[in-house]
Amino acid sequence: MILKNVSRIWKSSDVKKKILVTLGIIILYKFLSSIPVPGVNTTALLSIKDFLAANQGLAFFSSLMGGGLENFSVVLMGLAPYINAVIIMQLLAVIVPQLEALKKEGEQGQKKINNYTRWATVPLAFAQSYGMIILLNTLIGGGGKIMDVSNFWGAVLPAMLFITAGTLFLMWLGEVINESGIGNGASMIIFAGVLAGTPSHIMQYISVGNYPLLLILTIMTLVVIYIIIKFTEGFRKIPLIYTRTGRDEKSYFPIRVNQAGMIPIIFAVSIVTFPALIGQVLANKGSGSSAQIGQFLLEYFSMNNPSWLYITVYFLLVLGFSFFYVSIVFNTEEVAESIQKRGGYIPGVRPGRETAEYLEKTSLHLNLYGGSFLAFIAVFPYLMSKLNEVVQIIDTSGSGGQIDFLISGAGLIIVVGVILELIRRVDTELKSYDYKKFF
């Protein structure tokens, strides 16, 4: 069956072209992530890898954003500013009536919102690039400063412009994938960033000869992938009846269990990694109470040895952002109005307001399961590590004492979601190709 589908892809010039365009852009992105920003201290650049190994939170956040933090590359910020701009525009669409009206205009309105999002990305990328330069310079510190931050016009500003240009170029590459490739462009770039660290992760266990742990983690990863697929594809069917030409037609409205997708994970990681970074700065540069606060933050919010406080906060952030995001993107009043306009209703529920309330209640109920599932998968490796500290059931040599999947729990959710979407897109393209053969 797989060979048959591969053969169909090869025969379809359109599908083959789209896949090759997507692969080409991903290769270009990986090439860009290896090019350092001009003017960077190459000696200090060598210490970034060691720094990231000791500060997994920042490295993890960078990989989720599709960034090139390891090499202080021109795509250092990845798509983080663009994703932030998308989120801000979605929030504003709820608050600002003009944007809400644009959303209702369909494709033309969405094009205008997309343009606003692109423009909003520029100042966000510029500001965040400065923050990242100062932050990394402070964290690495000592004689290994990345660049002379006192020379703003000659060193910092050019670096900011290169990093901003890198983000905008990645954003454009994502749109090229949307138009000429296959899959969602931004998701594909993030997907590539998440997978980039997997080979080195596997080599850690091979280099120390800890094959039993590698086997256990491989099995755990495959099992969790299967569970994520089932949860991601799961949905509840809301029965609908449409009254047309004197007869009733039965249909249904699907509401997914995991409605929020990977967005809550990205929100939560961006916040939960922040205290440890602030703690590092305060511990290095502060004194007295500032240094004590820094040590507290490092002790309780480090990803390398996560405390129960970190695990709890991370879990609650993912769960909370799931409810928050779904409440923004799933407008039950619009759905209820659309059903009513098409002559439909939910059996036992009055059209209009009662339908909207019923959909909202159902959505909240499903999101409790979906959000809890996302949060549990995100913290599961940490829970396993805590359990292993109490009952030594696994030799963690080569993993720094931590138990994790071959790809992080949060990364797995992103990878599985992107692959499932990619499979659906390819299947749709192949069906279109089969249909065209008859004409």
User: In whole angstroms, what is the distance from residue 396 CA to residue 220 CA?
Assistant: 15
Per residue in 226-256, pLDDT (tens digit) is 888 888 888 888 888 888 666 778 888 888 8
pLDDT of residue 139: 67
pLDDT of residue 166: 92
pLDDT score of 122 more than 90: yes
Region 1-196: CATH code = 1.10.3370.10
The domain spans of the chain are 1-196
Phi, psi of 67 (to 5 degrees): -85, 170
pLDDT of residue 319: 92
Question: What is the mean pLDDT of the segment spanning 187-214?
Answer: 79
Lowest mean pLDDT among 159-173, 257-271, 341-355, 425-439: 425-439
Question: What is the mean pLDDT of the segment spanning 8-34?
Answer: 84
Rounded to an integer, what is the distance from CA 133 to the centroid of its chain? Answer: 22
pLDDT score of 323 more than 70: yes
* 318 neighbors 268 (Cβ within 8 angstroms): yes
Question: What is the mean pLDDT of the segment spanning 395-414?
Answer: 63
pLDDT of residue 439: 47
pLDDT score of 47 more than 50: yes
Token duo for residue 175: 């749109």
Rounded to an integer, what is the distance from CA 416 to the centroid of its chain? Answer: 11
pLDDT score of 309 more than 50: yes
User: If DSSP states are collapsed to H, E and C, what string results for the chain?
Assistant: CHHHHHHHHHHCHHHHHHHHHHHHHHHHHHHHCCCECCCCCHHHHHHHHHHHHHCHHHHHHHHHHCCCHHHCECCCCCCHHHHHHHHHHHHHHHHCHHHHHHHCCCHHHHHHHHHHHHHHHHHHHHHHHHHHHHHHHHHHCCCCCCCCCCCHHHHHHHHHHHHHHHHHHHHHHHHHHHHHCCCCHHHHHHHHHHHHCHHHHHHHHHHCCCHHHHHHHHHHHHHHHHHHHHHHHCEEEEEEEEEECCEEEEEEEEEECCCCCCHHHHHHHHHHCHHHHHHHHHHHHCCCHHHHHHHHHHHHCCCCCCCHHHHHHHHHHHHHHHHHHHHHHCCHHHHHHHHHHCCEECCCCCCCHHHHHHHHHHHHHHHHHHHHHHHHHHHHHHHHHHHHHHCCCCCCCCCCCCCCCCCCHHHHHHHHHHHHHHHHHHHHHHHHHHHHCCC
Query: Which residue did the predictor score with more confidence, 221 or 205?
Result: 221
Question: What is the mean pLDDT of the segment spanning 134-144?
Answer: 65
pLDDT of residue 438: 46
Beta bridge partners of 251: 240
The CA-CA-CA angle for residues 239, 240, 245, to 5°, reads 150
The whole model's pTM is what? Answer: 0.80
Question: What is the mean pLDDT of the segment spanning 278-298?
Answer: 75
Question: Which range, 48-52, 61-65, 382-386, is most confident?
Answer: 382-386
Question: What is the mean pLDDT of the segment spanning 154-170?
Answer: 90
**Long-range pairs of 267-271 with CB within 8 A, sequence gap ≥ 24:** 267/87, 267/317, 267/318, 267/321, 267/325, 268/314, 268/317, 268/318, 268/321, 268/378, 269/57, 269/60, 269/61, 269/64, 269/410, 270/61, 270/80, 271/317
Q: Token pair 């619009």 is at which residue?
A: 334
Lowest mean pLDDT among 103-107, 109-113, 285-289, 391-395: 391-395
pLDDT of residue 286: 61
